[in-house]
Amino acid sequence: MPRPEISKAAIKAEAARLKAFFEESGAQPVEMDILLPAEVLLDLYGEDIRARAYVTHDPERGEMMLRPDFTVPVVQQHMTDGAEPARYTYAGEVFRKQEDMPSRANEYFQVGYEVFDGSDPAAADADVFARFAEVLADAGLHAATGDIGILKAAVAGLKTTERRRAALLRHIWRPRRFRALMTRFSDAGTVLRQQNLDRVRANLKDAEAPFIGLRTQTEIDSRIRALEEDASEPPISGSEIELLDDILSLKETLPHVISQLRDIAVDLPAISGAVSLLSRRSDALAARGVDVEHLDFEASYGRTSMEYYDGFVFGFYAEGRPDLPPVATGGRYDALTAVLGQGRSIPAVGGVIRPNVLLSLKGGA
Amino acid sequence: MVVKLGVPSKGRLMEKTFEWFSERGVMLSRAGAEREYSGAVEGIEGVELVLLSASEIPRELAAGRIHLGVTGSDLVRDKLAAWDSKVAELAVMGFGHADLIIAVPKCWTDVDTLDDLDAAASAFRARHGFRLRIATKYHHLVREFLKINGVADYQLVDSQGATEGTVKNLTAEAIADITSTGDTLRANHLKVLSCEPIHRSQATLFKSRMAHWTDETRATLTELTEKMGLGD
């Protein structure tokens, strides 16, 4: 479908306008390199990023990557020489291969706003969302919100083994595998868990194979012990599985969701903290003039977008335009700062706007 | 305008391709000396034989520099993004069968399935500080497969040959490669995961959607497919 071409100059001007808005709100403008060392990004995002980012080679510095997003370099710069609290804004190109959707741009602008402030997470979340809502107000967009912290808290509170909780937490961002694990750990998976153990025991009786590779016998033994434990432990109770399902399928306006989550918290008290954070965030949003009564909330929202969003998540979409990527997306990524900071974590929340998508809507396309 | 037909330039794949065409009334042959990479076509007018490395045929089809090409379906799927928008399968040829599989050391008694591999990768990364390495040359296919199946904490390392040896040489923990009999895997103390292969490959005749098709070349293609009894 041919789209009216928007000039790069127009996109740059729009990006500058958006960035100026965030600067007026008190954010400090920052500039980031376009060529980034690939190692950190590859270790963080794994093969997914290799499929999406352009990797090139420098004879001195090794593998380099054309900036696939600003989040990582902004966090790194803040951790090296930023003082808390801090708010940053930036605008510039990012580069993404579009293997699955070749019609989408592989080089486009992003304007971002990031807040590093641990004093009041609910207020920081609301600050970011409200400013995005304000600067995008004329575009008639639909806002979607979620909170991965609720699901994380629910999993962390399951009455089962630490190993099962850890396995589920690890796959929160891969819904299909998460679902498979839920089944395996439930009553329905009892036979499967025993079969897994029997299969491995049968392998042990097999003729000895010579030991090759870096993975040690100790690692193999500890996995076998894990399978033994998994087969002998009672399943996660049907009522807890039901509660998880209830949370996963929550999709309502924010006030309704909060009241339903309070009901669920009676049976699953582990989510109480996350629910009260959600409620404080709702108040903070309302105080900033966001119409929370009509704000959509989906508990599964954001699970497939970025692995390191681990709390509040949001997106702004052009309704009736499924051909377009979201105009803006963002969320809380404390988990990412924890990985980058090697133990030292900084509460962080932020988001990006795609000025080219915004302009293509304004053009009435 | 002639229809350019790309065929692997050597080995069994070339011989089998020549046989397959000749059984259907089209004689392909190398012209001139044994080492000369040009060929002759008999039995139909307006088709030119281009001898190429099998691994370059996907790229040439996607660029539209050849109209037709014979290569493994694995190569087309791995090398071309959105492959079916660039080429169409005219015929699967019934030879060159090979499965793209994932294999791990046979001594890993705890790993048979993708679930196992994922669990092993998680523990491996925690212990060794880097992602479990899978050696392959089929980066795109393997990555997509593992993504769909929700395997995490792995990385792909490039291996263009002797991939089965990488585990013993400590440059990878597992491999993803093409196998037909599994002999090389067994000889290198590897076993195949019990899931469906990532892809079942065979030699396939492709038509380029990107090539410049004129009335003349279209007519030649119709004649060729009718003569050979291929459904277009």
Facing residues of A231 across strands?
none
* Mean pLDDT, residues A354-358 taken together: 95
Residue A131 pLDDT grade (very low, low, confident, very high; cuts 50, 70, 90): very high
Element of type H or E holding A35: strand A35-37
Question: Which chain A residues have a beta carbon less than 8 Å from that of B143?
Answer: 47, 50-51
Indicate the average pLDDT of chain A.
92
* Mean pLDDT, residues B44-52 taken together: 93
Residue A5 pLDDT grade (very low, low, confident, very high; cuts 50, 70, 90): confident
What pLDDT does residue A1 have? 39
What pLDDT does residue B205 have? 97
CA distance A199 to chain B (A): 8
For residue A318, pLDDT beyond 80: yes
Question: Which chain B residues have a beta carbon less than 8 Å from that of A52?
Answer: none
Going by C-beta distance under 8 Å and a sequence separation of 6 or more, which residues neighbour residue B102? B114, B117, B134, B142, B174, B175, B176, B192, B193, B195, B198
For residue A23, give the DSSP letter: H
What pLDDT digit, counting tens, does each position of A37-71 carry? Answer: 998 898 888 888 888 899 999 999 889 999 999 99
Q: Note if the bond before A59 is cis, omega within 30 degrees.
A: no
CA A145-A149-A151 angle, to 5 degrees, is 95
The better pLDDT of the pair A3, A112 is held by A112
The better pLDDT of the pair A234, A173 is held by A234
> Of B63, B51, B68, B40, which is closest to residue B218 (Cα–Cα)?
B68
Other Cβ atoms less than 10 A from the Cβ of A269: the count is 11
For residue A145, pLDDT beyond 60: yes
Cβ of B119 within 8 Å of Cβ of A223? The answer is yes
Q: Where are the domains of chain B?
A: 3-96+202-228, 98-200
Q: CB-hemisphere CA count at 13 Å for B190?
A: 28
The better pLDDT of the pair A341, B191 is held by B191
CA distance A89 to chain B (A): 32
For residue B66, pLDDT beyond 60: yes
What pLDDT does residue B33 have? 65
Residue A197 pLDDT grade (very low, low, confident, very high; cuts 50, 70, 90): very high
Question: Which chain B residues have a beta carbon less than 8 Å from that of A177?
Answer: 118, 149-151
Q: What is the largest CA-CA distance in chain B?
A: 64
CA distance B21 to chain A (A): 34
Q: What are B163's two structure tokens?
A: 């991939």
CA distance B179 to chain A (A): 20
Q: Is domain B98-200 classified as CATH 3.20.20.190?
A: no
What pLDDT digit, counting tens, does each position of B6-34 carry? Answer: 999 888 999 999 999 999 999 999 876 66
For residue A343, pLDDT beyond 60: yes
What pLDDT digit, counting tens, does each position of A205-260 carry? Answer: 876 788 999 999 999 999 999 999 999 999 999 999 999 999 999 999 999 999 99
Q: Which of A80-84, A281-285, A289-293, B196-200 bottoms out in mean pLDDT, i.e. has the lowest?
A: A80-84
What pLDDT does residue B35 have? 61
Per the listing, tokens 């109770």 go with A237
What pLDDT does residue A323 have? 83
What pLDDT does residue B73 have? 95
Element of type H or E holding A36: strand A35-37
What pLDDT does residue A365 have? 44
> Of B193, B137, B133, which is closest to residue B162 (Cα–Cα)?
B137
SS3 sequence of chain B: CCEEEEEECCHHHHHHHHHHHHHCCCEEEECCCCCCCCEEEECCCCEEEEEECHHHHHHHHHHCCCCEEEEEHHHHHHHCCCHHHCEEEEEECCCCCEEEEEEEECCCCCCCCHHHHHHHHHHHHHHHCCCEEEEECCHHHHHHHHHHCCCCCEEEEECCCCHHHCCCCCCCCEEEEEECCCHHHHHCCEEECCCCCCEEECEEEEEECCCCCCHHHHHHHHHHHHHHCCCC
What pLDDT does residue B38 have? 73
What pLDDT does residue A164 have? 96
Domain spanning B3-96+202-228: CATH superfamily: Periplasmic binding protein-like II (3.40.190.10)
What pLDDT does residue B11 have? 87
Q: Is A179 on the interface with B (CB under 8 A)?
A: no
Q: Considering CB atoms only, which of A167, A199, A212 is closest to B167?
A: A212
Question: Are the beta carbons of A128 and A288 closer than 8 angstroms?
Answer: no
What pLDDT does residue A33 have? 96
Q: Where are the domains of chain A?
A: 8-154+242-362, 161-236
In this structure, are strands B199-201 and B47-52 parallel, antiparallel, or unpaired? unpaired
Residue B180 pLDDT grade (very low, low, confident, very high; cuts 50, 70, 90): confident
Question: Which chain B residues have a beta carbon less than 8 Å from that of A176?
Answer: 148-150
Facing residues of B201 across strands?
B98
Domains B3-96+202-228 and B98-200 share a fold: yes
Question: Are the beta carbons of A219 and A226 closer than 8 angstroms?
Answer: no
Q: Which residues of B sit within 8 Å Cβ distance of A?
A: 81-82, 85, 105-112, 115-116, 118-120, 122-124, 127-128, 130-132, 139-140, 143, 146-156, 167-168, 170, 173, 189
Going by C-beta distance under 8 Å and a sequence separation of 6 or more, which residues neighbour residue A338? A344, A345
* Mean pLDDT, residues B81-91 taken together: 92
CATH architecture of A8-154+242-362: 2-Layer Sandwich (3.30)
As a whole-number percent, the residues of chain A with pLDDT over 90 amount to 76
Q: Is A200 on the interface with B (CB under 8 A)?
A: yes
Burial of B100 from C-beta contacts in 10 A (0-12 / 13-18 / 19+): buried
